[in-house]
Amino acid sequence: MTAFFALVTSLLWGLADFGGGLLTRRVSALTVVVVSQSIAAVVLGTIVVLTGGWSEAGPRLWFAVAAGVAGPVALLSFYKALALGPMGVVSPLGSLGVAVPISVGLFLGERPGLLQFAGIAVAVVGVVLAGGPQLRGAPVQRRAILLSLLAAFGFGTVFALIAEASTTLTGLFLALFVQRLTNVAVGSAALYVSVRRGGTALPAGGFPWRLLPALGFVGLADVAANGTYSVAAQHGPVTVAAVLASLYPVVTALAARGFLSERLRAVQAAGAGLALVGTLLLATG
């Protein structure tokens, strides 16, 4: 069950990242975050009301609040890093965030078997390679590297926090709702600061209403991924769940290949293959 839900997580996050990447070509990244997460918050709020999720409120919700802060900070750092340095450097560094939940799992006493350790190592290498690492070229700004590592830590922190935010299904809906509200609050504050500094929140023609379904898909896919990851982490080793869920860059690369006809570089194809091998080792271990 852990492997299944973690792989569903990677699929959903990969598609959400692909959709979000396309949307940021037309709308500012912060606007994409605020609108998509607002749509998800409305849907989750409705579910919480219908299921009586408020009864599950408790101290664990602070994990959801923390995840809601870490997510936008990580995403903003990632986009800023992309603006300063090549994707071939930023993307692989950003994928190193999987080290955070793995470290948490090991600290809490999880001890994967030899086959699973091999699967973790192979899968992590595969994810980094799938990001298309740039091994040659001009020197990269130190700030771009630091922002990439900050983004990686933020993404990994979200993995670790959301796994602790609830223990029941109704509690999970409430935790995800609180996380979305925090995402919107942090994203809105960042958007306000950006506009005050001369940035733009909307295209010249106003709000692109035709993109609303796509924005909704990105928000709902992201929240569904958080939910399936939480289930995966609660029903098996966090070390395994985190690695399998972190395969989403492979999904994003394959989606770009399938929908945009972008050619996969040899290193990306090799990374996808290694990620698959690592997945099989983890599933059978």
Locate the domains of the chain by residue range.
Answer: 2-284
Q: In the numeric block, which tokens belong to residue 49?
A: 């009301």
**Distant-in-sequence contacts of 89-93, Cβ < 8 A, 24+ apart:** 89/133, 89/134, 89/140, 89/144, 89/145, 89/148, 90/144, 90/148, 91/131, 91/132, 91/133, 91/249, 92/128, 92/129, 92/131, 92/132, 92/133, 93/145, 93/148, 93/149, 93/151, 93/152
2 confidence band (pLDDT: 50, 70, 90) = confident
Q: Count other Cβ atoms within 10 Å, centred on residue 121.
A: 14
pLDDT at residue 119, as a whole number: 81
Question: Burial of 74 by CB count in 10 Å (0-12 exposed, 13-18 middle, 19+ buried)?
Answer: buried
Any residues with CB less than 8 A from the CB of 105 and at least 6 apart, and which? 237, 238, 239, 242
How far from the centroid of its chain's Cα atoms is residue 221's Cα? 10
Q: Taking CA 235 as the corner, what is the angle to CA 234 and CA 236, rounded to the nearest 5 degrees?
A: 100
Please say if the pLDDT value at position 173 is more than 70. yes
Q: How crowded is the C-beta side of 35, counted as CA atoms within 13 Å?
A: 22
Residue 48, H or E segment:
helix 29-51
pLDDT at residue 195, as a whole number: 92
**pLDDT, tens digit, 9 for 90 and up, residues 178-237:** 999 999 999 999 999 989 998 888 888 888 899 999 999 999 999 999 999 999 988 888
Q: Looking at residue 263, what DSSP letter applies?
A: P
Specify the range with the lowest mean pLDDT, choosing from 57-66, 87-96, 253-262: 87-96
Please say if the pLDDT value at position 136 is more than 80. no
pLDDT at residue 91, as a whole number: 67
Of 71, 120, 68, the C-alpha closest to 98 is 120
Ranges of H-type helices in 165-211: 169-196
* Average pLDDT over every residue of 79-95: 69
Residue for token pair 């009301």:
49
232-263 b/e (C-beta count within 10 Å ≥ 16 → b): bbbebbbbbbbbbbbbbbbbbbbbbeeeeeee
Specify the range with the lowest mean pLDDT, choosing from 8-12, 66-70, 85-89, 281-285: 85-89
**pLDDT, tens digit, 9 for 90 and up, residues 26-76:** 888 889 989 999 999 999 999 999 988 888 888 999 999 999 999 889 888
Of 210, 208, 249, 277, the C-alpha closest to 91 is 249
Of 92, 107, 222, 226, the C-alpha closest to 159 is 226
Q: In the numeric block, which tokens belong to residue 162?
A: 């959301």
Q: How crowded is the C-beta side of 91, counted as CA atoms within 13 Å?
A: 22
